[in-house]
Each structure stands twice: as C-alpha cells, then as structure tokens.
Amino acid sequence: MNSHLELLLSLPPQMSAEFKELWPELASRSFATHDPENAQLGSGGGTAHVLHQAWMQSGRSFEQWMNDGQKIVIHGGGESRRLPAYAGVGKLFLPFPVLRWSRGQRLGQTLLDLNEPFLTEAFAKASDSSRVLIASGDVLLRGIESVSSLPDADVVLLGMWAAPSVAQNYGVMFCNRDTPQQLETFLQKPSPNEIRDRSRDLPFLIDVGVWLLSERAVECLMRKCGWDSSRQSFADGGLPENYDLYGEWAQHLGENPLAYDEEVSSLSVAIAPVEDGQFFHFGTTSDVVESSYSLQNIVTNQSRLGAVASLAQPKQFILDSTFGAPLRRQENESLWVEGSHIPATWKIGKRHMLTGVPENDWNLQLGDGVCLDFVPVGEEQFAIRFYGYDDRFRGAIDDPSTQWLENPAREWFACRGIDRQAAGIDGDTDLQVASLFPVLDREKITGEFMRWLVSGCDVGQSDDAAEHRSAWLAAKRYSARQLSQRTNLAQWQELRLKLREKALPIMVGHGRRSIYSKLDLKDLAKGFAASTAELPEPCLEMNDVMLSVHDRMFRSEVLRLREDSQWKQEEQHAFKLLEDAIVAPFIRDSVHPQTQLANDQIVWARSPVRVDFAGGWTDTAPYCIESGGSVVNLALNLNGQPPIQAFARRSHSSTITIRSIDLGISEEISSYEQLQSYRKLGNGFSVAKAALCLCGFHPDFNGGRYATLKDQLAEFGGGVDISMLAAVPKGSGLGTSSILSATVLGAISEMCEYRWDAQSIATRVSALEQMLGSGGGWQDQFGGLLSGAKLIQTHPGLSQVESVRWLPTDFFCSKEYQSRALLYYTGITRVAHDVLGEIVRGMFLNDPQRLKVLDAIRANSETCFEAVQFLDLDAFASSIRQSWQSNCMLDSGTNTPEVVSIVERIEPYVSAYKLCGAGGGGFMYLLAKDAVSAERIQDELKTKPPNNRARFVEMSVSNTGMQVSRS
C-alpha cells in the first residue's frame, strides 16, 4: 500500500475559509474546501468538486496526482437543517463526549477525531488499486478490526447487516447468497416491503456510506460529472454537473443493476461486509443524543467501567459547560448541553439541546423539546437561535406542516401578535431562509426576553409582551442559512476553550468521580500547564491504585511542561505506586524458607529462552492491568541446550554465595542490607538478590522472623550457594533476564520445599522486575517456564492470572518451517530498560497513539494464533510482519540504521522478520520465502557479517519448558 494518505474535507463555506486558523494541526495534514455558492452538485458532483479543488493545488496533471497516494474524501458540508446548532462549524466538528469505557480520548474531541481511525484503517486494508475513499461526515463507524482485508475491485462498498425497518432509511445492497461480496442490485431507500420481497432470493446489507474507488472508477465518476480529461477541466463553467452517487451512479452498479449504463455498469464491484460493525448516525439533533448514548453504553460490564458514572444515568451529556441545575434525573432525559452556562435558576425539562449559552442569571423555564443556540456574531453580539428538538427547518412558514419549536411555525407569530409582513417574512418563505433569529448585545439579552421567545402562547398576553415584540422587530435578524455564514468561529471556539480551562481543575480534583484518569493525560496536561491553575492535592485512592498512578503521572507531566524540577519525583512516585501494588501481596503473604536438601545435593533448574511472535508489549503493566494482555511465543533451546540454568545447594558457611558462571564473578552476602542492594540495575547479581528476598531470605518477605541474616541461616541449617548461567548475549531480546529470574526462583523454590508452579513463579518474576525498577511484562517468564508454542492471555485486573492455549508444535517441526525459519544474532544490543520506561510512561498518560498500536498488537496475537492452528505459514508470516511494523510504530528507535542495513541485504529473500523482545534485541527472527532463500540469507550474512559478533544460532522447540531436578 502507498503510505501517503491525503485527507480531503468538504466543509461549510465559512469553516472552510477559516480552517487553517482554527484547526492548524489538522489543516497541516489535510485539505478543506466547500461546495460553490448557489450550486447543487449532488453527492457525486460534490465528490468530483473536492477532488478537483485539491488537485488544483498540486501543480501536476490530474492523473499524476491521483497516482500519488490515497485520498479520503469526507463530506461534512451542507446546511445541517436537522442539526442547526452545528451548521456553522459542520458536523465533522461536532464536539463529542468522552466515552467512559474508552482510554486516551480527549476533551474537545470531535466526531471527525473518532471516525478518522476507522477510515484510515479501512484504507490500510484496501487493495493497491483503491485510490479514493468516500465517506459521509455525519456517521460514526466501528468494527473495521473484524475485516482482515478488503476485496480488489473498481468499487468497494462497505456494508452491514440490518433489518428491513432499519434498511429503508439507507442505500440497500442486495448480494449473491453464496458469495455475499458480489453485488446484485443497489437500491436507494427502498420500502420495507420491497426489501422483504427481494430478500426472499437475495440477502441484503445497508450501505454505511464508505466507498473505495479505483483510478478507473474515479475517472468514470469524473466523466459523469462533466470532466474532460484532455482539457483537465469541467465542461460547464469549471463546475461539476449535478450527479448523485447513491440515487444515480449506484443504480448502475452490480450484476443486475436497476438501470444499465455501459460505462458505469462495466466497473467491477465488491461488497465488504463489516461483520461486527456498528453504525451510528449524527444527522439530526435527536441522532446526536441517541447515538452518543448508544456509544456510551457499548460496554455494559460495569466492573470494567471503573469509578465513572454507572449505566443508570439518563441520556444526559454535559460538555465544556457549567451546570447548576440538578442532574441525573429521569425527567431531564435526552439532554445535550455544550459550551454553555446553565445556572441553578433555570428549570429544564427533557429533549433539550443547549449550546453556546453565555453566562447569565436568568430565571428561565424551558418546555420539553425547546432548544437554544447562542451564536457569536461579530465581537460582542449573539444571535439567539431558538428551535424545537425535532424541527427540520424545511417548508413554507404558512404551511401548517412546517414545524418550528415543534408546533406549526405560523403559530409563533400569531401567539405574539407579530405581523409577518412588518417583519419582512412572507408566508411562502422557507423556514431555513426566514429572518427569525435576533442579534443582540450580550447585556441586552434578558430572562424576560428569553421567556417571551420560547414559552407558550400565553406570553403574548404578558405585560411586557409589546416591549419584547418591538425588540424582536427592531433587532437585526438572521436566518438559519445566514447564521451558518456569519458565525464568528474564532469566538465560538474561544468560548469553549475558556469553559474547558475553567473546568479542568475541578475535574482533576474530583479524581475517582470523573472520567479524568482515562483521558489522554498528555493532552490534558498540556492544557492544564498552559493555565494558571494550581494542581489539586494528589489523588489518594487506596482502593484504586491505578487511578493514583495515572494521577501522579499527570502531575509529573504538568510540572515538566511548566519546567518545575519536581516533575521527576512525581514520575518516580507513579512507578513506585505500581511497584508497591504488585509486590505488596508477597510482603503480606510472607514465606518461611526451610529445607530438607541433603548437604551433598544440588538443585538444577534449566530453562529455554523464548521467541515472541505476536502480542509483545500487551503483557506490560499498566496496559495488561487495564486492558488484558495477549501474546504468542515459543520456547526454544539454543544449539540443542536450554541456555538458562541455575544451581542451588546448601553450604557449611553462614553466608549466601552467588556466582555467575558466564560472567566469571561471585559475591558473598552476610547481611540483609547486602541482599537489599538489588535495586542497582546492571549489577550482575540483582536478579539473584531480589529472588532470594522474595523467597523469604529478607525480613520484608518472611514476616520479620529474624534479627539478622546470620540468625536465619543458622536455623535454615547453613548457608546457600546459588550459581547462574545465561549462555545468551546481554540484550538478546529472548527474554533472558526474566527467564533467568524464573529459573533462579524455580531452583530456590525446590531447595526451600515451596513447590511453586509456573503461575506462582511467573507472578513472582513480575514482582521481582518491579523491585529491580526495570518493569517488564509476564510473557518472558511464561515463554521459558512453559513448553512449546502457546497463546498466553490475561483479563484486566491488578492480579494477572494467565490462561494458556497451546499451539501444535507440529507446525514448528514441519520440514517446510524448519527449512525457512532462522535465528540470527545481529551483534547489535539494545537493553529494554530505557525503552520500556518511555513506553510505559505513554501507557500511564493514556497516549492514544500508543494505545491504538497496543490494541492492534493484541488483535494480531489472535491472528497469529489462528494462523498456526490452521498450519497456514503464509498467514503466520503476515502476522510476523504486522508484529514488526507495530513494534516500529510503538518505538521508532527499534529499527536502527544498523538493523536497516542488515534487512536491506536480505529483503529479497524473506517473507517476514522481526527483532526479538521489547527493546528490539540482538536476535532477529527470520522466515525465508523458501529453503533456497534461507540458504541465500545465510550465505549473504556469513560471507559479510555486520560485525564480529554476528552469527546464526541453531534453534529447536523446547518440549519441556523449565525443568527442575535434584542430584
């Protein structure tokens, strides 16, 4: 796929003009335009217009520009008659509430922010022939993860299964029963009866508004809109002709099109069913509330929602607002308050959309269904748009079916004694263009005037009715159409930013009672640091350690941005909280080491290393604690031997002696203080010292039974000798450190009669790594403790209890696999500790980009698992490639120039490759295209090794995992 992707947006005219000033980051990676004034282009002509306008900026031929990357066209313009509050900014920039089950979302996020990932992922799964993706700006789609790849066709239509009652409101794609990807006929908004009649023979899906077009399909669409490729222009005055994608072009598509067109009907078409997809519409005021509520409740397992509001809350959304009225009451159902000040003096009902309401002390009662939108006009004035929740802003004023404030529009004038002719409004004027909405200085807007505008017919009889009628008639008034063209968008945005800034300290201070800890804390810290607000007191939630961890890291980031030297201490506090939470159970449940080992007996523990195929990083806290981890790895012996070994025996001395066979060093320990020096990372005996502590040779973990180590060893029956061997280079990426920890713990467990199983040892390794300050996940120890290939998974929770699903080792022992799989030591080492700290910091801050990659890594582990289960070597290679790409996205430093130089030499011969481990370790796992390619790779790298340490290492599947025995 071409990695260059352009975002092309169709916006309301004023938003298009001010786009670069209002949304500079988005504007730097996208193009925005609008439909030409007084031109009806239709969805097809509108698409052609966006493409034409974007191409005009390129300075190349249209064909050259089309071939230079992929384009996503999102239609977010239009008049927004059924969602008037956001007509000025456009539906793409509809402020969107943070979803309580999510992580990494932002305050101030928009509908576009949430929809863009689906669209970019869809394009990533498209064939190389796809050039343009067309999407509607008033829908939000989920579930592209269920699609492995999109078909290769001129036109690819994404669809979802639906009932006829739902499908009647959308385009309906009737498909072949045996091959659902084959489109038979496309109908635009057919009746339920017609859908039922046709569905007797043909299944159907709804069109979700996402189409992918090949270059050929784009050329066809452009020609239908009047494009002359020889002149590189449209025929009619430079504008596309009116052409409808759904009601016209789509009718010609399929095996049995509704209407045949020689050019359009010759295009190849494929449907891509999004099996687990979800479709949310945001075209109307009601849609915004209903769809937001549905999204908010996607996760119904309340145990996964943490401390945020429960599912019991009504349909109420308060965004960037101060709200004094009582909340969470059923009588206030279907409430949307955004960018507003609503004081306690207001009495509200249900079905309200209240937007942009300025600070006020009005005594105001709103009847059900009344909506208010205060639109900044100029520098100091507001236009007051008042309307009904279900108003459509369509139809003549005098037509009794034309609804305004959910009543016949003409009644509003009659109730207030207003002569429409005197107001300059004819009876046949369309509601959208009628000058209804007064523009006033802020201080001239009173509660009495607001009541007169929105209350029932009795307001016409009030004492001050004549005064308000005169004020309305005298005021400058704009129509709904004019408001979308005259909104002071900079002021609109500034008002919301100020409200958000004001709310930040309150939200942070609420801690457990707010969504705060699940937000993109890096983005939140940026806004907080720029304000003058003081940080609230640290969150001390004894029952929710992770909330306190996130809070400390947020505080650290704020202080860092403010250049306060205390930021490092806050960061260390966050890591310490996590460490204490993981280690605490082993302090609480102390152990008492005893032995029945004979003086001349030796305990021998030996373990394989592991190579990770997919899912690495998801086993790392805090991600695994909050989302669950999922990893596929394989236990390996190197050169026919388990390379990680530990020996334990009793000695006649009153000390503990630790030896490293591979390093050729030793240390004698005679005090608890010496054992506690394990924190020094890089010390050759940190692992053994921490392991001995966890096994009860330190008062923190044995309940303080002994005053000195000497006293403890005397009761134990003598000293202890521990010898370790790691016949693997440092920074190998094969999980050496964790597996060595597990092996040492396994040896001591046997010596002390603990008989710990793999789960018990693995959880202690996680605690040990926290004690060392290196962090780390759980996959390494399980990779070495357990034999063969396996998918290891955990559920969210501080206590990580792993479940293991085994994979057939026949796959890895097959002749084809063994002829293609290689393990190469590059001689390039990169210890994971610093890398780990940086990425874990991103996890603590809910960095959305990192979380997105981690979610993809977790999903890929399932793909890898299935590939091995089905003995599908090609699919396995694809999952390995995905693992490497994801690791590089997570840590750009993984793919160093030295690694690139190796890869470039072998690229023609490999199906897949990846560096092993979290840090992008010294070993590289390779899967050659075939046996001959494997030989060529070996010849290439043996003849000209990148350094004098590089070498191929023989690997074989370990069918035992860790073994422990006594002499």
Question: Residue by residue, what is the 3-state secondary structure of 69-88?
Answer: CEEEEEECCCCCCCCHHHCC
Running DSSP on this structure, what letter comes out for residue 2? Answer: -
| Helix residue ranges per DSSP H, 230-367 | 285-296
- The answer to whether the bond into 622 is cis (omega within 30° of 0) is yes
From the list 52, 74, 55, the residue with the least C-alpha distance to 65 is 55
pLDDT at 2: 43
Structural domain includes residue 291: no
Same domain, residue pair 939 and 819? yes
Of 806, 835, 855, which closes a domain? Answer: 806
Same domain, residue pair 325 and 422? yes
Running DSSP on this structure, what letter comes out for residue 634? Answer: E
pLDDT at 3: 52
Same domain, residue pair 797 and 816? no
Structural domain includes residue 189: no
CA distance 375 to 358: 10
Same domain, residue pair 95 and 236? yes
CATH at residue 712: 3.30.230.10
pLDDT at 461: 74
CA distance 627 to 104: 13
Spell out, as residue ranges, where the chain has pLDDT lower than 70: 1-3, 236-237, 301-312, 327-328, 460, 511-512, 541-542, 681-683, 830-835, 919
Structural domain includes residue 611: yes
> What contacts 702, CB < 8 A, 6 or more positions away?
590, 591, 592, 593, 696, 712
Same domain, residue pair 558 and 702? no
Same domain, residue pair 782 and 829? no
Q: Strand 803-806 relative to strand 789-793: parallel, antiparallel, unpaired?
A: antiparallel
pLDDT at 1: 42
Indicate the SS3 state at residue 846.
Answer: coil
CA–CA distance from 425 to each of 402, 477, 625 (Å)? 15, 11, 63
Same domain, residue pair 63 and 145? yes
The torsion angles phi and psi of 613, rounded to 5 degrees, stand at -100, -45
The torsion angles phi and psi of 105, rounded to 5 degrees, stand at -85, 165
CB 708 within 8 A of CB 899: no
Same domain, residue pair 338 and 482? yes
Structural domain includes residue 357: yes
- Number of domains forming the structure of the chain: 5
Of 772, 789, 806, which closes a domain? Answer: 806
Name the residue range of residue 820's domain.
810-958
CA–CA distance from 220 to each of 5, 155, 263 (Å)? 22, 11, 7
Of 750, 784, 806, which closes a domain? Answer: 806
CB 25 within 8 A of CB 48: no
Indicate the SS3 state at residue 729.
Answer: coil
> What contacts 517, CB < 8 A, 6 or more positions away?
306, 307, 511, 539, 546, 547, 550, 551
CB 118 within 8 A of CB 100: no
Structural domain includes residue 941: yes
Same domain, residue pair 445 and 497? no
Structure-block tokens of residue 116: 């863009």
Running DSSP on this structure, what letter comes out for residue 793? Answer: E
Structural domain includes residue 184: no
From the list 64, 53, 46, 4, the residue with the least C-alpha distance to 29 is 4
Helix (H) or strand (E) run with residue 354 in it: strand 352-355
Question: What is the reported pTM?
Answer: 0.89
pLDDT at 833: 53
Structural domain includes residue 649: yes
pLDDT at 379: 86
> What contacts 442, CB < 8 A, 6 or more positions away?
358, 380, 381, 382
Residue with tokens 């300050």: 773
CA distance 326 to 389: 21
CATH at residue 902: 3.30.70.890
Structural domain includes residue 505: yes
CA distance 575 to 562: 21
Same domain, residue pair 149 and 9? yes
Same domain, residue pair 892 and 834? yes
Same domain, residue pair 555 and 674? no
